[in-house]
Structure 1
Amino acid sequence: MFQPNLFEAHHHLLAEMSLKSSDSDPLNLGRLRDEDFETRSGAETMENPLSGEDQAVILEDPTNPTRPKRKRYHRHTQRQIQELESFYKENPHPDDKQRKELSRELGLEPLQIKFWFQNKRTQMKAQHERHENSILKAENEKLRTDNLRYREALANTSCPSCGGPAALGEMSFDEQQLRIENVRLKDEIDRISAIASKYVGKPLANFPNNLGAAHLTPRGHELGLGGFSGQAGYMGENYGGGFVLIRPMTMPTEADKPIIVELAVAAMEELIRLARGGEPLWILGENSSEMLNEDEYFRTFPRGIGPRPLGFKSEASRESAVVIMNHINLVELLMDVNQWSSAFCGIVSRAMTIEVLSTGVAGNYNGALQVMTAEFQVPSPLVTSRENYFVRYCKQHCDGTWVVVDVSLDNLSGNPTLRSRRRPSGCLIQELPNGYSKVTWVEHVEVDDRGMHCIYRQLVDSGLGFGAKRWVATLDRQCERFASAMASNMPAGDSSVITSVEGRKSMMKLAERMVLSFCSGVGASTAHAWTTLSPMGTGPDNVRVMTRKSVDDPGRPAGIVLSAATSFWLPIPPKRVFDFLRNENSRNEWDILSNGGQVEEMAHIANGRDPGNSVSLLRVNNANSSQSNMLILQESCTDTVGSYVVYAPVDLMAMNVVLNGGDPDYVALLPSGFAILPDGPDVGVGCIQDIGSGGSLLTVAFQILVDTVPSAKLSLGSVATVNTLINSTVERIKASLSCDNP
């Protein structure tokens, strides 16, 4: 559905601003030309591939024409091979122009270059096939072993009526499998129940002293996760152009698993006592906020996961709220890593389940145990993300309360570079009438955050950056969004309201992907290679840029995407900044791409109690532009600790399909936008919508398609133009809000 003329409109508008550089179209937002793509025929594959490291030249013997032809081989030099190998890594299919350029640089004929790449591709294909064959052989051997094990198990099964041996012919295959699974589940329940009865109400004995050297050494076990072809033991994320390696992570061994279970059971008991306890465990701090009494904590829980590491500081907070979601759906949201990371995308920049140790019993997550890894962020490139390797344990208690707890597995990770760890953290979920639930959240982490930018110090130290208040506020807002997506009764009389249920779902799904893409790319994740640019004039001094390659991603235009972000302080309350940025009537005051045109709202979906929580479809009407009807998809959302305004240009025909209930996954998006946070606890004590005395921390982020060829090189002109764009936007916002430069 992606139509390139939409991104051409952005380029045209930027051109009118005289933001051109010496490079050709540095902000070409999607112009596709026929000559950008090579049309291949069968001639290339039919030619004789006589190249490689040796190039054969066929000669005839003039003294004996009847003798067979003999070959003279030309061996490439080491430098030629290295250059060819290096180019192959970037582009295994060079076009004619690139082959000619290589031939001039290396002193070879273009045909030799062509044959070398043919043979190299054939060689790599053969290696890939051999690798796949070895995997298939291993799988076949595993299936054979499993088959023998199942036969032995079936031979020992008993008749359900008499208890005697059962003949195989008397049972169906499904019944045989159910019996085997039933025996496994019973053993698992007995094992966990025995451990729970031993440790409930007691500190975790012999931990971490019982972790021997074998548990502290890195292990190279493969993750075995579908779709990942990177180095074993690493987690990664696919950005279209390949996986970004994050950190080496190891699978827990069989010797680790009993220790993990014991730690999870003890963490569950600790979390319940933290969530329900009062003084002296929790005491009143500044602004009447709760603080954890650390002396009392270590007296109550003397063992836990050990003493605090040197240089780390403790952050502990507790928050409660009633949310519009039943307890079953809440538990599923927390235990499904995809739902969890999507719902909390402003906090969780990436997450992965390493291994499921237990799936739970009785068809739900009661007793589920998962080893996970995740990164937690504040939406700004100035705050370092926090990476954790932990176990998540879910259990239903006798009073009907569900508890989900996390606790770090630092001593099992084999990664000494982790700079934060989670002491028992998580939530208690109590069922309420009419589909509501009461959630009590506890966050207790230890972190080394000495590299944090000073303007975010007060926010993070107050607990509004990573604390329980932010988790609960985000959950409350997302529950309202889910309820809005399922609503069937629409207000009558408003022509801009989307009344089609399928159209609402498709548009909200598209907006959800847009916000998720924005949040995953705005923070200081370990997967991001940010580069700091030099300040321009009175603009911010911390503009960061990075590039991504997009290939075969249906939700993102193909090519080189340049991301730029900056964060700065404003002496304006967050409520005022949020209302200014989300209002379509004030958009032409800061949005350079609207070029002074009038912006009108064509359609909107309310997705929360606050009028600022909505998804809108905007149209830019500009009489001075050749593109008079540019569409913008925008989602604005706010809660008690933060606000977002995220938007992306969209194609008119694609949006018509979405509004009619069509699949939104193939609509290409490059989201940009703003993240607005209070500058400290003074604003966060009440509601962010109430104008307070504090200021705002504003993050501005753009994504621009600078070249439609993924293998192209980024030009300095493109970087300079994006730097100008983001600085101009910052200056316009400050001028419109009557801010003096801080």
Structure 2
Amino acid sequence: MNTRANNIQRASDIVVGVSTHVDPTKAKIIDLAYSAMDELIVLGLVGEPLWQPKKHDRHQTLNSIEYLRQFGMIDESLRGIIKLVEVGEPQSLPSLESYLLEPSMSNATQNVALQVEASRDVEYIKMSPMKLIELLMDMNQWGREFYNIVSRTTMVRTLLDGVEGSNNGKLLVMNTELHLPTPFVPTRECYFARYCKQLSQETWGVVDVSLEKFIASPSKYIRRRPSGSLIQGMPNGFSKVIWVEHVEADHGQVNKKLQPLFGAGYAFGATRWLASIVQHNEWSETLKEPTLAADDRVLISKAGRMSFLNMGDRMMRTFCSDINASTRNPWKQIPSFYGSTDVRYIVKNNNNSETGKPPGTSVIFTTSVWIHASPNRLFNFLRHESSRKKNSEDKTDIYYIQKSYTDSIASYVVYAPLDESALKSLSNGSNPEIVMMLPSGFTILPARFSDNNNGDGSLLTIAFHSIESTSIRSSIPSESVEILYKVITETISAIKDAMM
């Protein structure tokens, strides 16, 4: 069965699961969502000893022993904690007593085979609470906003409609796959409930909790405990967002050099989700600027600026979608007789049905390698045009559009070649969706090479996307495979030499 058929079958399974004995199952999921919201409120508002600050980091990590002590008690203890919090900071916290009507998650079974990842962070975001709530509750917006984390998402069913058509009280059942920007780290997929509730006039909560208690999970390696955000409107038009991420996952599937990123709350932690919203806001603010001055002081019109910025956004989204281990990316490994480097590729066909992509067959080939250089040094080297040209598969002079940025964990340098006609068209404000584009680039993750050498190495992922044929092919010839392997291994050697 192909990937699409598998996804359809999974969606069908969960609908059947929720529909079977509808009232009991639905009622249990609703109870679970209510309890998850109660827990999120505590996790979002209580400080030490439940949460511990991390030296040199902005986020906090969960004290697992304290978590078990607090959430292993009866509900009255949970109520008492919230009352203490209300007494401690009444000016900034909503009244929570009326929301603690359901049993907590305190009796949830612990899976000793999984490791805990839990982090909390706070950010002030230039958005109203209502816009943030809409972003989190609209699956299309949510998947688009967090394209660097979310591989794909499906809204399976609405279990509860919001009050008078609003998001207040809405309960969704979702399926989501999350990724890091490399095909060599497995994705995370689970079904979960997402519940939204207005806690006071200016404060909202949105909580997720996985549903493996009721529906067979697509993966036994991930469990999403109550996680989400508390959003409080501020007088200056900003929103204070407290983000909590709490999952249990199997780190055994992750390379040991990357495992510290997961256990310490970096890989899929609260800071990374908040950073994605901030990055989107910065991009939106750039769109509002009246003109854009290029490096050679050439002024670009507002329409041209919009086209280039949207082109860069489309390029980055496409690259992030192509460069992960999602089930919709059927990576093949180049046979080992070509060499020892693990190079993988995907063959993509376009029979003119997709705009903005050249017709025929193209191929993405990629590898991830360990580089003994800090992520910052490697990023600064790769993002400069002179460095990239030395390490690119393109040997002729051509125009490029490039976007590079760093979020809380990963760095991205993504570019795509453009011919002169496309460049002029974008400058005049044409629709960037119809411009032919095949993005290539680099992603960088911090890596740990030994117990005594923390944080001075990088996992570099390289991906090149090139046209193979103007006709449709199901595979690529062996001579093309050999060329692809040579290009990517020579690129690795050049980068390693530059970092010595």
TM-score w.r.t. length of structure 1: 0.57
Deviations 1:715-739 (A, max 9, x none): 122222111111111111112222x
Residue 292 of structure 1 corresponds to which residue in structure 2? 62
Corresponding residue of 2:445: 677
- Equivalent residues of 1:406, 1:422 under 8 A apart: yes
- The Cα RMSD (Å) is 2.8
- Please name the residue that 1:448 is paired with: 250
Deviation at 1:450, TM superposition (A): 1.3
TM-superposition CA deviations, 1:353-401 (whole Å, max 9, x none): 1112344235642222211111111111221110010111122221511
Partner of 1:550: 350
Q: Is the 8 Å Cα contact of residues 498 and 504 (structure 1) preserved in structure 2?
A: no
Does 2:394 align with 1:593?
A: yes
The 1:247/1:717 distance shift into structure 2, 3 A limit, reads: farther
Counterpart in 2 of 1:360? 162
Equivalent-residue separation in structure 1 for 2:435 and 2:67 (angstroms): 51
| Separation of aligned partners in 2, 1:246 and 1:363 | 28
- Which of 14, 22, 31 is the matching residue for 1:250? 14
Q: Which amino acid aligns with 2:475?
A: K
Render the CA deviation track for 1:245-283: whole Å, top value 9, x for unaligned.
Answer: 887642121333222222111111111110111123223
Q: Per the alignment, do residues 522 and 412 of structure 1 end up closer, same or farther by CA in structure 2, a change over 3 Å counting?
A: same
Q: 1:181 maps to what in 2? A: none
* Closer/same/farther in 2, CA of residues 714 and 247 from structure 1, 3 Å limit: farther
Residue aligned with 1:720, SS = helix
Task: Report the CA distance shift for 1:327/1:495 in structure 2 as closer, same or farther (over 3 A).
Answer: farther
Rounded to whole Å, the distance in 1 between the matches of 2:264 and 2:409 is 11
Are 1:462 and 2:264 an aligned pair? Answer: yes
Q: Structure 2 matches for 1:503-582, cutoff 5 A? A: 503-534=304-335, 541-551=341-351, 552-582=353-383
**CA distance in 1: counterparts of 2:416 and 2:384, whole angstroms:** 15
Query: CA offset at residue 489 of structure 1?
Result: 3.6
Work out the CA distance in 1 between the residues paired with 2:419 and 2:214. 49
Q: How does 1:85-164 map to 2 (within 5 A)?
A: none
Which digits, 9 at most, give the CA deviation of each residue in 1:630-673, with x for residues without a partner?
22121111233221011112233233233322222122221111
Question: Residue 735 of structure 1 corresponds to which residue in structure 2?
Answer: 497
Change over 3 Å in CA distance of 1:693–1:261 after alignment to 2 = closer
- Pick closer, same or farther for the CA change 1:336–1:594 going to 2, 3 Å: farther
Q: How far apart are residue 541 of structure 1 and its match? A: 2.7
Q: Which residue of 1 is the match for residue 233 of structure 2?
A: 431
Question: What is the alpha-carbon distance in structure 2 between the residues aligned to residue 736 and residue 295 of structure 1?
Answer: 46
The answer (yes or no) to whether the contact 2:412–2:443 under 8 Å persists in 1 is yes
Structure 2 counterpart of 1:290, one-letter code: Q
Q: Structure 1 347/249 Cα, relative in aligned 2: closer, same or farther at 3 Å?
A: farther
Match of residue 221 from structure 2:
419
Structure 1 522/438 Cα, relative in aligned 2: closer, same or farther at 3 Å?
Answer: same
Task: Give 1:273's match in structure 2, choosing from 39, 42, 47.
Answer: 42
Cα distance, 1:360–1:661 mapped onto 2, change above 3 Å: farther
Check the 8 A contact 2:211/2:217 in 1, yes or no. Answer: no
Larger deviation, residues 361-370 vs 699-708: 361-370
- Secondary structure class of the residue paired with 1:528: coil
Offset of 1:230 from its aligned partner? Answer: 6.2
1:250–1:413 CA contact under 8 A, matched in 2: yes
Structure 1 residue runs of 5 or longer lacking an equivalent are: 1-228, 237-244, 596-619, 621-629, 683-691
| CA drift at 1:286 | 6.6
**Structure 1 residue 300 displacement after superposition:** 2.6
Give the drift of 1:535. 5.8
* CA distance in structure 2 between the partners assigned to 1:572 and 1:693 by the alignment: 9
Q: Could you list the per-position Cα deviations for residues 683-711 of structure 1 after superposition, in whole angstroms to 9, with x for gaps in the alignment?
A: xxxxxxxxx96222211111222122224
Tell me which residue corresponds to 1:698: 460
Distance in 2 separating the partners of 1:517 and 1:291: 33
List aligned pairs for 1:560-709, cutoff 5 A.
Answer: 560-595=361-396, 620=397, 630-679=398-447, 694-709=456-471
Task: Return the offset for 1:563.
Answer: 1.7
CA distance in 1: counterparts of 2:178 and 2:449, whole angstroms: 20
Secondary structure of the equivalent of 2:42?
helix
- Three-state SS of the structure 1 residue aligned to 2:7 is strand
Aligned residues: 456
Counterpart position of 1:79: none
Cα shift at 1:540: 6.7
Structure 1 or 2, whichever has the larger Rg, is 1
- Distance in 1 separating the partners of 2:158 and 2:446: 38
Could you tell me the TM-score, scaled by structure 2's length? 0.83
Instruction: Assess if the C-alpha contact under 8 Å between 1:536 and 1:727 holds in 2.
Output: no
Alpha-carbon distance in structure 1 between the residues aligned to 2:414 and 2:481: 22
**Match of residue 393 from structure 1:** 195
What is the CA deviation profile of residues 413-458 of structure 1, one whole-angstrom value per residue up to 9, with x for unaligned ones? 3346442121111111222344322221111011123121233222
Residues 525/427 of structure 1: CA separation in 2 closer, same or farther (3 Å cut): same
Give the Cα–Cα distance (whole angstroms) in 2 for the partners of residues 565 and 449 of structure 1: 23
1:551-609 CA distance string (max 9 Å, x none): 311122232332211112222222221111111233332223145xxxxxxxxxxxxxx
Deviations 1:321-341 (Å, cap 9, x if unpaired)? 222333222222222222212
CA distances 1:122-162 after superposition (whole Å, capped 9, x unpaired): xxxxxxxxxxxxxxxxxxxxxxxxxxxxxxxxxxxxxxxxx
List per-residue Cα deviations over 1:439-481 (Å, max 9, x = no partner): 2111101112312123322222222111112212222222211
What is the percentage of aligned positions where both structures have the same residue?
Answer: 38
Separation (CA, whole Å) in 2 of partners of 1:508 and 1:413: 42
* CA separation of 1:504 and 1:359: change in aligned 2, threshold 3 A: farther
**Higher share of residues assigned strand:** 2
2:483 maps to 1:724: no
- CA distance in 1 between partners of 2:461 and 2:295 (Å): 33
User: In the aligned structure 2, how far is the partner of 1:540 from the partner of 1:483?
Assistant: 46
Gaps spanning 5+ residues in structure 2: where? Answer: 73-103
Q: Which amino acid aligns with 1:710?
A: I
Q: How far is the alpha carbon of 1:410 from its aligned partner?
A: 1.4
Q: How many angstroms apart in 1 are the aligned matches of 2:254 and 2:68?
A: 28
